[in-house]
């Protein structure tokens, strides 16, 4: 297991915030992870690809980097099994080679399978779809008992960017999925469609962590977008509603100030909201 101290955390979050971490552990197997969780006694942050994670200027708690725990993928002719550390693009390409698909709407996420299951990532709007539509079974480490458990997926417990694992003390280790039979050409075309759409509507000019809120008022989002409200190096994107971009040297404090402003605006008009970003202190 790799252990690093006093680490520059910029590259571990897609927002590339100025941040330093005390210590990061990178377990390379489930056994190493189980031992580590046992040792750390509940005091740690779980990190995967960092596409939804905002690091404080100084992260004191140990960080467990899950990107090397399980990078396996397999297919038994019906069901796919995928380890938590696999990047979604790699898994979609693997399924494509086997003649299956359906989750190309996730191809644009700079994310891992573990993070995607935890967040129940997907797309909203009229074409609402998420990873849980395809999941059949999850294997996770129960951090209360330190036991590896496997359970069938109860789809009624998932919602838009909601998974039951957000209320559990656990690490998602792997999942099973049933995908649609789909030709290679169809998958390639759906991937291209997704990437073309993202190029058109998403602000890729600067580092970011995608949408700030998973629930909120679209008029407030639009207002902040039009104003391009700023704090230090963080700024609401003028291209994409509800996105904060790092224009250079942004810190978690800058991001938090912007999020707080957006929350105040929601409270002012009594609108419902839910912050999607995960903050690491
Ligand atoms: C350019 C861009 C586009 C995006 N587009 C979308 C989109 O279209 N739809 C969408 O839903 N999201 C989108 N996102 C947000 C993000 O990609 C998702 O939330 C994704 O699911 C996060 O996965 P990750 O591996 O990066 O997780 P991280 O950011 O590393 O972690 C996110 C949270 O999950 C927890 N976690 C991670 N792995 C595990 C695990 N194995 N077990 C338990 N907990 C875990 C972490 O502790 C943290 O709380 C986008 C982000 C970016 C930067």
The answer, yes or no, to whether residue 127 has pLDDT greater than 80, is: no
Q: Is 256's C-beta closer than 6 angstroms to any atom of ligand 1?
A: no
Ligand 1 atom nearest residue 278's Cα? 49
Q: Whose CA is nearest to atom 53 of ligand 1?
A: 209
Q: Is 278's C-beta closer than 6 angstroms to any atom of ligand 1?
A: yes
pTM of the predicted model as reported, rounded to 2 decimal places: 0.96
| 204-224: average pLDDT | 95
| 95-123: average pLDDT | 97
**Predicted confidence band at 154 (pLDDT cuts at 50, 70, 90)?**
very high
Q: What is the rounded distance in angstroms from the CA atom of residue 5 to the CA atom of residue 1?
A: 13
- Which domains does the chain show, CATH number per domain? 73-187 (3.30.465.10), 200-280 (3.90.78.10)
CA distances from 108 to 96, 113, 178 (A): 16, 13, 20
Q: What is the rounded distance in angstroms from the CA atom of residue 136 to the CA atom of residue 79?
A: 9
Q: Whose CA is nearest to atom 47 of ligand 1?
A: 46
Ligand 1 atom nearest residue 121's Cα? 11
Q: Which of 127, 164, 161 is nearest to 242 (CA)?
A: 161
Q: Is 84's C-beta closer than 6 angstroms to any atom of ligand 1?
A: yes
Q: Is 206's C-beta closer than 6 angstroms to any atom of ligand 1?
A: no
**Predicted confidence band at 261 (pLDDT cuts at 50, 70, 90)?**
very high
The answer, yes or no, to whether residue 126 has pLDDT greater than 80, is: no
- Centre of ligand 1 to C-alpha 3, Å, is 23
Backbone angles phi, psi at 160, to 5 degrees: -65, 110
> Which pLDDT does position 128 carry in this prediction?
86
Handedness of CA 83, 84, 85, 86 (dihedral sign): positive
Handedness of CA 202, 204, 205, 206 (dihedral sign): positive
Query: In residues, how long is the chain?
Result: 281
Ligand 1 atom nearest residue 165's Cα? 43
> Which pLDDT does position 125 carry in this prediction?
74
Backbone φ/ψ region at 123: left (φ over 0), alpha (ψ -120 to 50), beta:
beta
- Centre of ligand 1 to C-alpha 232, Å, is 25
Chain segment 16-70, per-residue pLDDT in tens: 999 999 999 999 999 999 999 999 988 899 999 999 999 999 999 999 999 999 9
């Amino acid at each position: 297991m790799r252990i690093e101290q006093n680490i520059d955390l910029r590259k571990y979050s897609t927002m590339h915030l100025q941040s330093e971490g005390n210590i990061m552990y990178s377990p390379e197997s489930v056994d190493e992870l189980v031992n580590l969780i046992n040792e750390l006694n509940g005091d740690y942050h779980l990190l995967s690809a960092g596409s939804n994670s905002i690091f404080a200027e100084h992260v004191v708690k140990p960080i467990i980097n899950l990107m090397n725990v399980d990078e396996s993928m397999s297919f038994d002719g019906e069901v796919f099994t995928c380890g938590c550390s696999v990047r979604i693009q790699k898994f979609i390409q693997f399924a494509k080679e086997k003649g299956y698909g359906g989750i190309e709407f996730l191809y644009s996420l700079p994310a891992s399978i573990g993070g995607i299951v935890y967040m129940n990532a997907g797309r909203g709007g009229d074409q609402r779809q998420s990873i849980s539509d395809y999941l059949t079974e999850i294997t996770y480490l129960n951090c209360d008992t330190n036991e590896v458990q496997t359970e069938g997926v109860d789809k009624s417990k998932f919602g838009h960017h909601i998974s039951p694992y957000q209320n559990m003390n656990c690490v998602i280790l792997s999942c099973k999925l049933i995908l649609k039979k789909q030709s290679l050409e169809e998958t390639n075309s759906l991937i291209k469609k997704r990437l073309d759409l993202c190029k058109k509507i998403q602000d890729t000019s600067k580092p970011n962590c995608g949408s700030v809120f998973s629930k909120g008022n679209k008029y407030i989002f639009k207002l902040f977008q039009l104003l391009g409200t700023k704090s230090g190096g963080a700024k609401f994107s003028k291209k994409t509603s509800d996105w904060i971009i790092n224009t250079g040297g942004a810190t978690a404090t800058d991001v938090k100030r912007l999020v707080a402003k957006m929350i105040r605006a929601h409270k002012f008009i009594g609108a419902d909201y839910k912050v999607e970003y995960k903050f690491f202190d």
